[in-house]
Structure 1
Amino acid sequence: MKQTRVAYAGGIYHATEAEEGLKLQDGRIVAEEEVVWLPPVQPRTVFALGLNYSDHASELSFNAPEEPLVFLKGPNTFVGHRSVTRRPSDVTNMHYECELAVVIGSQARKVKREDAYEYVAGYTVANDYAFRDYLENYYRPNLRVKNRDNCTPIGPWLVSADQISDPMNLSLKTYVNGEITQEGSTKDMIFGIPELIEYLSSFMTLSPGDVILTGTPKGTVDTKVGDEVITEIEGVGRLKNTIVGDEASHL
C-alpha cells in the first residue's frame, strides 16, 4: 500500500494514490497540484547514516567506517514532495543525497538482524541535503551541515514493507534539471537495513515512527538556486524538490 499526508482546504489528510490524482481519507479525489504534500510520516527520532556507501566515502576521500556512523536530525528539517529548500547565500557547496528511508513500525529492543524486517512499517525516499561548507569533521557532523530548516525533503509515499520484496536491491537515481547525476543501488550499503536495526536497538529502544536514513551512493554534485532535483528509488517513488535563494524564502 502507498499512502501519504497532505494539506488541503484548511485540513490535513491521509491520502492514497488514485487513477487521477489523490484520494483523501474522506473519499474526495483531488489533483496532485491542489494539495500541499507533507512528509508521509511524522518522524520521531531520526537516525542518519554517514559514509554508508564505500563509493561515496571514496568520493569524499574518507575511509569507510568500521561501525555505523550515525547522527540525529530534528523534525524541523523535513518537508514534503514538491517543496522548496533554501540555499544560503554564503554556501559554496550544497549537494543532494538520495537515500532510502526506513520507517519503524513497532517497538524494537535488542533485535537480531534475522528478525529486523518484522519491525519495519515501510519505506520512503529522502533527499538529505548537505551544506558542506560547514563540515568540520565527517565523523562528528556539524549541526549546520544537516539540521537546517526544510533541508530534507521526504516522500512522496510511505510504501508498506510488504510491497518491497528486497529493500537491499533497489536502484537509486538523482536527476538535476532532468539530467541524471547520481546512480547506485541499495545493495552497495556497507551496513544494510538488518544490521542497522540490530545495531541501533542494541543500546536504545526504537519506536514506531522512528526513521533511519540509510546513506547515499557516489555522484553528489553542487546544486544552484533554481535547480529542480528529483531523487528516485525503485518501487518507492520519485521525490521532487526545488532550490530557492534567500530572497524567496522566509527561513
Structure 2
Amino acid sequence: MMTGTVYGVVLNDREERNRLGGQFAEAPYKAPPVAPVVYIKPRGCVTGSGSEVFIGEEPEVEVAPTLALLIGRDAAKVAASQALDHVAGICAAIDVTVPHDSYYRPVVPLRCRDAFLPLGAVAAFTPAFASAEIVTTVDGAIAHRWSPDRLVRDMATLIADLSSFMTLSAGDLLLVGLPHDAPRIRPGQTVTVEVAGLAPVTAHVRQGDAR
C-alpha cells in the first residue's frame, strides 16, 4: 500500500536524450545530467482509475503512460543487483502535465495539480514488467506504444542510483520514466493505459476546475 512519497523521473527516455543531444551543453543546463532528474507528485495528485481530471482553461494536457513501483522495504545505497528485491508491487500510471519545453526549474502547477496522477490497482511485481509493452488508447483508438526497454536507467539501475543519495522508504511510489512522445489530449477525451498482467488505468479529461 502506498503510504509515502511519489517520485517521478524525467529525462530517462533514451530516445528523448538522443533527440536533445547538444542542447544539454547550452544554457541553462551547461551539461547533461549525471544523476536521475527527480520530481515529486504531491499526494493530492493521486487518484484512481476512472477519475475525472479537471485541467482549468488549458487547451490540452500531456498524458504520459508509465509504470509505478511500490517500494516494499527501505532502499538506501543498494546495489543494482539487489534493487528489485526492495519492490513490493507495480501498477499502471498516467502522469498528467501541462505541456512545457524546459526541465529547468519547471513551474510546479504544470505538473502537480489535483488528480494529475491516476493509478491502476497495484499487483505483485515480477522482473518481467521491466520489458512490458505499455499501450495507450485515446477514445478507444491506439495513440501510443512504448516499453521500459527505452529507459536510460532500467528499473534496477534507477533504484540503485537514487538510493545512492536518498532513501526510498517502504510505501513510496516510484514512476520509472516518461516517454518524450507521450500523447496530448483535449477536454472531453478519455485516455486508458494498458499493460499485460496489470489492471488498466483510465482518466476522463474535463475543462474547468473540480467541483
TM-score interval, smaller chain? 0.7 to 0.9
Which runs of 5 or more residues in structure 2 are unaligned? Answer: 25-31
Higher relative contact order (CA 8 A, sep 6+): 2
Output the TM-score relative to the length of structure 2: 0.87
Letter of the 1:49 counterpart: V
Structure 1 contact 97–215 (Cα < 8 Å) conserved: no
How many Å separate the matches in 2 of 1:59 and 1:221? Answer: 17
Which position in structure 1 is the counterpart of 2:203? 241
1:64-91: CA deviation from partner (whole Å, max 9, x where unpaired) = 74431111111010000111101211x2
Task: Indicate the residue corresponding to 2:174 in structure 1.
Answer: 212
Bigger share in strand = 1
Report SS of the residue matched to 2:200. Answer: strand
Residues 162-218 of structure 1, C-alpha deviations (whole Å, 9 max, x = no match): xx2422211011100011111011111111111111112112222111011111224
Q: Tell me the residue number matched to 2:119.
A: 154
Name the counterpart of 1:110.
77
Please, what is the CA RMSD of the aligned residues?
2.1
- The sequence identity of aligned pairs, in percent, is 28
- Once residues 134 and 101 of structure 2 are traced to their aligned partners in structure 1, the CA distance between those partners, rounded to angstroms, is 28
TM-score (norm 1): 0.74
Amino acid at match of 1:117: L
Q: Which residue of 2 aligns with 1:79?
A: 47
| Alignment CA distance shift 1:202-1:122 (3 Å) | same
SS at match of 1:55: helix
Query: Which of 166, 177, 197 is the matching residue for 2:128?
Result: 166
Displacement of 1:154 after TM fit? 0.7
Question: In 2, are the aligned partners of 1:95 and 1:223 still within 8 Å (CA)?
Answer: yes
Would you identify which runs of 4 or more consecutive aligned residues in structure 1 move more than 6 Å?
A: 59-62
Match of 2:160 in 1: 198
Letter in structure 2 aligned against 1:224: R
Is the CA contact 2:134–2:195 (under 8 Å) kept in the aligned structure 1?
yes
Aligned residues: 203
Greater radius of gyration (CA): 1
Q: Quick one: distance in 1 between partners of 2:118 and 2:194?
A: 12
